[in-house]
Every structure is written in C-alpha cells, then in structure tokens.
Amino acid sequence: MAYARQAPFVSAPICYCPGAPMRRRDKSTAMSNTVLTGMQWGDEGKGKIIDLLSPAFDAVVRYQGGNNAGHTVKFSDRHFALHLIPSGILTPGMHCVLGNGMVIPPDAFFEELESLRASGVETEERLWISDRAHVLLPIYAEVDKARELQLGTGRIGTTARGIGPAYEAKIARQGVRMCDLYSERLEGLLMNVSSRLRPELGSLGRGSDVASLLIRCRDWAERLKPFVADTGRLINEWIDAGSSVLFEGAQGVLLDVDHGTYPFVTSSNATAGGASTGSGVAPTRIDGSIGVLKAYTTRVGSGPFPTELAEGEPDGDFLRRRGNEFGTTTGRPRRCGWLDLVIARYARRVNDTEIFALTKIDVLDRFESIKVCVAYRIDGEEVRDFPSDLGRLERAEPVYEELPGWNQETAGTTRFEDLPENARDYVAYLEDDLEASAAVISTGPRREETIVLDQARLEQLTRGRLQTPPP
C-alpha cells in the first residue's frame, strides 16, 4: 500500500534548541508511535522487521544500548550489518535518532557512517544523536575486557564493547555526555573518569591518558556537530506535527537489566518501557508495541538457558548451522535450543506485545517433530511464570510439548496459504498460547522472504501506512 510521506520535520539545531511553543497533536488523526522489542535474548531478527515496518513511519529511534547490538538487513544483493545506527536509515528519507538512553563510541559511529555512505546510503540531515546520550570512551572497553578476564569461568560473556562500564559511569553520575564534548567541564570530567578507572587497569590501561583523550574528544566534538541535537525535543515536535515514530529496541527482554536473567544481562532497559526514558517521549505518547520472536531460542554469552541443546547435540548443531547462529557483533557461535513459551509469555506481558513477528520459521523445515517448552519443572513443581531467582532458573527442567514437523521447504514463502499445514498449525499454536497475533512471518533473511499474515493489525499499528514487500 503506497502512502505519501509527510515532511513535518524541523531542522535540528546543534546541541541546544532554543525554546519554542509546542503544538498539541490531534489524537484522532495522529499517526501511531510504536515500540519494537526482542522477545528472547536478542538476535531475534529485529533488524529485518524494522526494515520492513519503517516505511510506514517517519522516524526510527534507538533508545538503549550501544554497539553491542547487531542488526542484519538483506535485500536484493545487498547486505548491511548495523550496530549503532537504526536500521531505518536504509529507508530513503527516514529520520533516525540515537536517543539519550544510548552509550555511543564516536569512532564506531563514524565507521558505520562511512560504510553506509560507501554503499550509497545518504545520511545527510536525517541522522541525529541526543546531546544527552553518553559517550562510550575507549577506556570503558578496556575495563570491560579486563573484568571479564578476571571473572574467568564466572564471566558474563559480554560483547567487550565497554557497555557495562559506560552505563556504570552514567548511573554513578560520572559519565561524559555528548553535550559535555562542547563544555569547558570536559577536561575535569575526563580526569575524573581516568582517576576512577586507572587503578583498576594498572599497567594495562592505555585509554586513561587524559591529554590524548582530550585531543580525541575535541576531534569527535567537531565531527559530531552536524548530528548532535536535543533529540527529545525534536521527537516530541515530530509527534506534535502528526509524524509517527518507531522505537527500535536492541537486545531482548531477557537481557534487560531489570527484567532479564540478572546478572547475565546487558546494562540497559531493552524492554518497551526503556523507549520512554531512553528517548524523552512520555509513555502516554507511545501507542503500541510489537515483539519479535524467533521460532527457536538462542543466547550469546553465559547464564541459564532452560531449553538449551548442549553443544554436540545434533538438533542444536543443526539449528546453529541452518540458522547461521553466529554473532553479528562478535562472530561468537550462539547457544541454541527449542522455543520457550515461558519466556515468550513473559515478554508478551512485560512489553504488552499483542502483535508479534515470528522469524526464522524456515530453520525448522527439516524436523520430523518440533519441541516447544510450555512450562518448567522446578524442585518438583510445575511453573509457568518466568522465575526471578537465578538458582531456580538453573534448576528448571523444560516441560515440552511435541508438535509434528513439516519436513518440507518453506524458505522464501510469501503467502501463508503456501506454508505446509503443520507449519500453519505451529503458528496457530503459538498465537493461542501467547494470546497474540502473528502479524508477520519471516521465511528467510531477505526483505522479500516475508509473509504479512495480519495485514489488518499491522495497518492498525501503522495507521494504514504499511508498504508490504514486493511478492
């Protein structure tokens, strides 16, 4: 369905926006603002779904995390791996924001920008970084690596990008924000960071030299100038003017620092609630939520994983190979296991995802039967709610239901009625259990390999502006 893009965008002043009267939006005609989140441990295939949905929105906003994320988008003969910049940047004319909830390493940002430009993706005047986002300093990555080494077998298995130390500095009120790059306080802030972390790094610490860090910061400040803005104000003005915004979650519910498998989590709020604090848009202005659920489960890094198929188990190895389950950011092989509905139900509740996109269903094509975990048995008791206590989760044994497989190719299918009956039943089974609608089914990595199953719900979510991919 074609739509006419409106152009209600205001230009983004560098760093500080002078006060301007806000227009109230008329809620009856307003576009929908939607948050998209991962329903497992990340790597659900969010990049592809954002790429599919973003033409129906005017702006895409990332609200948490940093370059620990990895979103892959494939279409025609092109392949993009994005870590910081929202996947919406691949939609021509789309405005993209790196929100205040993010931690951003400037060099990684410039690198991504360069590779986008080299691929002919124009980013001029449509890519913004919040002046309140935190700068991820190189020293944080050094600390991250040193701590993981020190933890040995008890390590979190982080992406080693410095995400934890960057958020730690933020919460300790000792971080350096984008706006600080332009402030006379910068040197003092850097001295503070360095004196706090230098003892921990000892002779290993290379990024703790304040003089050279200051030179790098000055250079970043200059190069970041065209992008840095009061994005909280910008996004609210866009919404006032009737634009619709897609909030792009990174990672997934179980990596959320509050709701995930703590302490084996990332350090930000990857759930729908994070969209508000991480962007400066009130929860009352966000109208809907869509989840992305992979047809089986994967996890990178350490921590409990009840349905895991241990390395060497043929079904797990098969999922890893066929699903190409190797990290976009680190290249690490992902741990693989059967779909866990205890987790999916939990994600459904925390994020209020009445609508979900089911990804990688084609990876299940070769199984005679497919297991789905419907509950856990913990200390002899059957449990359907996701436990908070790590010990209980480690003792959880999955209670499986076994569904008939379809043992037939579905890769590339674009119409629901062309799926084998057992695959259609599998989708219906998930919808029933989750009391949610599978609006999209992804049957392959390419943009074109998609079934739009519930067009009506998607149109509701996007106020009728969804462009379905060409068949």
Kindly state the smallest distance separating residue 207's Cβ from ligand IMP, in Å: 17
Kindly state the smallest distance separating residue 339's Cβ from ligand IMP, in Å: 17
* 265 vs 427, beta carbon nearer ligand IMP: 265
Kindly state the smallest distance separating residue 344's Cβ from ligand IMP, in Å: 17
User: Under rule CB under 6 A, which residues in 324-363 are in contact with ligand IMP?
Assistant: none
* 85 vs 228, beta carbon nearer ligand IMP: 85
User: Under rule CB under 6 A, which residues in 4-63 are in contact with ligand IMP?
Assistant: 41-43
* 159 vs 410, beta carbon nearer ligand IMP: 159
Kindly state the smallest distance separating residue 212's Cβ from ligand IMP, in Å: 25
Separation CA 257–CA 269 (nearest Å): 6
Kindly state the smallest distance separating residue 260's Cβ from ligand IMP, in Å: 8
* 19 vs 154, beta carbon nearer ligand IMP: 154
Q: Which of 95, 132, 161, 457 binds ligand IMP (CB under 6 A)?
A: 161
Per DSSP, helices labelled H in 5-89 are: 46-53
Kindly state the smallest distance separating residue 365's Cβ from ligand IMP, in Å: 24
* 53 vs 300, beta carbon nearer ligand IMP: 300
Kindly state the smallest distance separating residue 441's Cβ from ligand IMP, in Å: 22
* 324 vs 408, beta carbon nearer ligand IMP: 324
Separation CA 213–CA 66 (nearest Å): 20
Q: Using CA of residue 59, residue 18, residue 179, residue 281, what is the dihedral sign?
A: negative
- Whole-Å CA distances, 341 to 10, 235, 430: 43, 35, 8
Separation CA 55–CA 60 (nearest Å): 10
- Whole-Å CA distances, 435 to 23, 155, 295, 438: 38, 37, 16, 10
Active site residues: 43, 71
Name the burial class of residue 133, with classes exposed (0-12), middle (13-18) and buried (19+) by CB atoms within 10 angstroms of its CB.
buried
**Where does this chain touch ligand IMP (CB under 6 A) — which range of 64-72, 209-217, 230-238, 411-419?**
64-72
* Interface characters, 111-150, with ligand IMP (x: CB under 6 A): ----------------------------------------
Q: Which of 301, 316, 387, 444 binds ligand IMP (CB under 6 A)?
A: 301
Name the burial class of residue 137, with classes exposed (0-12), middle (13-18) and buried (19+) by CB atoms within 10 angstroms of its CB.
buried
Q: Which of 255, 350, 434, 438 binds ligand IMP (CB under 6 A)?
A: 255
* 164 vs 273, beta carbon nearer ligand IMP: 164
Q: Which of 157, 226, 304, 464 binds ligand IMP (CB under 6 A)?
A: 157
* 95 vs 360, beta carbon nearer ligand IMP: 360
Q: Which of 164, 207, 291, 337 binds ligand IMP (CB under 6 A)?
A: 164
* 161 vs 177, beta carbon nearer ligand IMP: 161
Separation CA 429–CA 38 (nearest Å): 20
Strand partners, 381: 378
Q: Total binding residues for ligand IMP by CB under 6 A? A: 21
Separation CA 38–CA 311 (nearest Å): 24
Amino acid at 145: K
Compute the CA torsion angle 393, 360, 439, 238 (nearest 10 deg). 90
Q: Binding to ligand IMP by residue 68, rule CB under 6 A? A: yes
Per DSSP, helices labelled H in 96-175 are: 106-118, 138-151, 163-171
Separation CA 239–CA 186 (nearest Å): 33
**Where does this chain touch ligand IMP (CB under 6 A) — which range of 160-168, 305-313, 340-348, 377-385?**
160-168
Among candidate residues 67, 58, 194, the one with its CA nearest the CA of residue 133? 67
Kindly state the smallest distance separating residue 133's Cβ from ligand IMP, in Å: 16
Q: Binding to ligand IMP by residue 393, rule CB under 6 A? A: no
Separation CA 440–CA 447 (nearest Å): 12
Q: Which of 40, 159, 243, 442 binds ligand IMP (CB under 6 A)?
A: 159
Residues in Cβ contact with 457 at an 8 Å cutoff, skipping those fewer than 6 apart? 354, 355, 437, 439
Residue by residue, DSSP assigns 395-456 as H-EEEEEEEE---S--TT---GGGS-HHHHHHHHHHHHHHT-EEEEEE-SSBTTSEEE--HH
Kindly state the smallest distance separating residue 264's Cβ from ligand IMP, in Å: 6
Closest residue to ligand IMP using C-beta atoms: 301
**Coil vs helix vs strand at 220:** helix
Our CA angle for 370, 270, 375, nearest 5°, is 35
Q: Which of 163, 189, 229, 234 binds ligand IMP (CB under 6 A)?
A: 163
Which residues sit at the interface with ligand IMP, rule CB under 6 A? Answer: 41-43, 68-70, 156-159, 161, 163-164, 250-251, 255, 264, 266-267, 300-301
